[in-house]
Each structure stands twice: as structure tokens, then as C-alpha cells.
Amino acid sequence: MSKILIIAGNARSLIANRQDLILAIKNCGWEVEALVPSSDYLPEVEELGIPIHQITLGRTGINPFDDLKSVWQMRAIIKKTRPIAVFSYTVKPVIFGTVAARLAGVKRCYAMVTGLGHLYTTRTIKTRILKLIVSGLYNLAFRLNERIFFQNPDDIKDFEALGVIKNHKKVTRTYGSGIALDRFPIAPLPEGPITFLFIGRLLTEKGVAEFCEAAQLVKNKSPHTRFIAVGPYVASLPHSIRQRDYGAYQSSGVVEFVGGVSDVKPYIAACHVFVLPSYREGTPRSVLEAMSMRRAIITSDAPGCRETVEHNVNGFLTPVKDAQQLAANMQRFVDEPQLLIDMALQSRKMVEALYDVKKVNETMLKGMRII
């Protein structure tokens, strides 16, 4: 029986984003195993029903000796498990997982770029240097992969401009990782005050500050509105919002901070509009979940985000880092409540047409020559 090994960026993403892909591959008669970093391991990953191997692979570290150790460790596991194909996603798995797979003798390697991350959204001397290094490593990895999946057209264009993509025949665009429509069913709009919801880690690049500033502006004009932020705050994470800012946002009481949750569906069901002012994404899963549950969307006119919204149809696009315009777009829903219904209907139509996980997985299975 044919076997494919998935090299994941973390256990949580394997559960949330690859569960349906794993099932689809198994339904084609293939065996599936996965490698996940031990630092991000979650016991729930075992519920996927496939063998899980833990590896030492830092998410953000730049120590070359540690990365070389990870490559050698992955190579050993790959040689032992003997897959005929390897699929990797997120930066380090794509780069170092691909190298390890080829060193282990695997000829069929596939990769997915799930977003370019903060190296491509911040402009410091350090990030510019790292961007050059990472782009060079991506160049190597892409040469070693048979096919590379991208989740949005902007990432493809940026890698073309950087000269990273050499063979365009290898590139396939998908509509994100897809969303299981049955797991995020349509929910009626709630009674009560108009509620705006943000879901995501409280990182600067997710637009948390802009969400909070816009919330204050709307609250000043429309005191009955409500704002909720769901997601963990970890001060030690790179690019977390500053602790004093987080404290000030909490103290103001304008935004209700819930923290991390295991199930976001009750919060989406309790909101009227989903808001993600992110600076850049691959394709934001949280937006797709809200669209599937039939909610209007406000997000950034930024790579990965802009593909999920047709401006003035299922929501509004807002310039990156523009709290004033974000507030104006929020206020539109307060002043014109019929938009809540009309745009919500369009969100569900769009997600059914483009982002259904069954359609996305079919594209990937064909690209990996599994079907």
C-alpha cells in the first residue's frame, strides 16, 4: 500500500487544517503518517487515527546547528517509515523537511506555502537579512519539490519577484486549506446589540491594535455596540502586542477579551460581523469559518485576506493599519443593519463555491498524483 508522510508546522494545524485531507488520502487507499514538532505536541493529535512521530523543530529559531540536527532526525524517521511521498507545509517543514526527505531517498515531495509571515510584513535590518536567507532556502526547497501549492495569488507574485519560483509548471493555487461546511453550519443572526468579533492570537500583525482602536471609535458614536476578541495572549511570542497596550485595552472595557478557546463556533454564532484586520495571511481560516456560518466580513485589503471578500458584496475591505477606515466600515453595519443579512448570505455562497474543503482537497490530491 502506498504511504505519504505529512510534515506539519505544529500539531494544532494538523488537526484543524489537515484532518479532511488525511481522510481524503486514506479514502484513496493510501496510508498516512505525520511528523509534528514536540514543542507544539497536543495529545488530541492522536485522535486523527494515524501514526504520529515527534521531532525537534523550532518554529522561529535561526540556529543553523539546531536546524541541521532536525534535518538529520527527520531523515532517520523518513528512512524508517519509508513513504513514497512527503507533503510539508509552513516554513521550516517545507525547507528542512524537503531536504530531509530527499536525503532519505524520497523522490515525490510536495509543499504548501500557507503564508509568508512576519519576515515579509516587517522591514527591519534583521528581517531584511533573514528574508534573503529564507528566500534562498525556499529556492532550494522548491527545486526539490515536484509541486508547490500556494493559498493566494499574492504569495506567488512575491516569490516570482524574488526569483524564488523557477519552474511555474510546479505551482498550483488552492483556495486556502478549505473549510468543512458541515462542521461550521449556518447559524441565525443573534438578537441583541450588533456584535463585532475578532479571532486570532493577539499579535501586532493580526491587527489587534486596529481592532481595539476602531472599537473605541464606534463605541463613542454607538454605545450599544459590542466587541469581542477571542485568542490567547502570550507576551513572550515574537510580535505579540505590547503588554502595556494589552493592559490598557483590557482596562478600557470596550473590547471583551476571552482568551484562547477550544471551540470558536459559539462565538461566531453570537456575533453579527467577523473582523480580521491582519497585515498578511495565507488564507485566514477564521474568516472562512465565519463565512461558512453565514456572517458578513471586514478584513484587510492585504494578501490572503482580500481574496475572501468581494468589497460591498459579502463585506468590506479596509486598508492595512487604518483604524479610522476600519471603524467607518464597522459603523456602516450599525447604520444599515440590512447589510448584516445581505452580506452574510453572500459569504456563505462564496465559501460554498470556492472554499469547500472537498473541492480544495481534490485539487491537492490531483496535484500530488494520488488520484
- pLDDT tens figures, 132-155: 888 889 999 999 999 999 999 999
Range of the domain at 307: 195-354
Whether residues 17 and 114 fall in one domain: yes
Question: 3-class DSSP state for residue 157?
Answer: helix
Question: Mean pLDDT across the stretch 235-247?
Answer: 89
Decide if pLDDT at 263 tops 80.
Answer: yes
* CATH number (domain holding residue 200): 3.40.50.2000
CB proximity list for 131: less than 8 A, separation 6 or greater: 119, 120
Number of domains in the chain: 2
Question: Does some domain include residue 185?
Answer: no
Question: Does some domain include residue 188?
Answer: no
Whether residues 23 and 52 fall in one domain: yes
Whether residues 137 and 26 fall in one domain: yes
pLDDT value for 118: 63
Whether residues 98 and 233 fall in one domain: no
pLDDT value for 121: 63
Strands annotated E in the chain: 3-7, 31-37, 52-55, 85-89, 108-113, 147-150, 171-173, 195-199, 226-230, 255-259, 273-276, 296-300, 315-318
Whether residues 27 and 173 fall in one domain: yes
Considering the chain, what percentage of its residues have pLDDT values greater than 90?
84
Whether residues 363 and 349 fall in one domain: no
Cα gap 145→290, rounded to integer Å: 33
Whether residues 229 and 206 fall in one domain: yes
Question: Does some domain include residue 303?
Answer: yes
Whether residues 225 and 307 fall in one domain: yes
pLDDT value for 106: 98
Cα gap 365→175, rounded to integer Å: 14
pLDDT band at 65 (very low <50, low <70, confident <90, very high): confident
Give the closest residue to 324 by CA, choosing from 278, 256, 277.
277
Whether residues 172 and 199 fall in one domain: no
Question: Does some domain include residue 189?
Answer: no
Cα gap 262→339, rounded to integer Å: 30
Cα gap 185→32, rounded to integer Å: 28
Whether residues 130 and 202 fall in one domain: no
Whether residues 23 and 156 fall in one domain: yes
pLDDT value for 119: 64
**37 half-sphere exposure, CB direction, 13 A CA radius:** 24
pLDDT band at 122 (very low <50, low <70, confident <90, very high): low
Decide if pLDDT at 38 tops 80.
Answer: yes
Centre a 10 Å sphere on the Cβ of residue 186 and count the other Cβ atoms it contains.
13
Reading across the β-sheet that carries 195-199, which strands appear in turn?
Answer: 255-259, 226-230, 195-199, 273-276, 296-300, 315-318
Burial (CB < 10 A; 0-12, 13-18, 19+), residue 192, is: exposed
pLDDT 10s digits, 75-108: 999 999 999 999 999 999 999 999 999 999 999 9
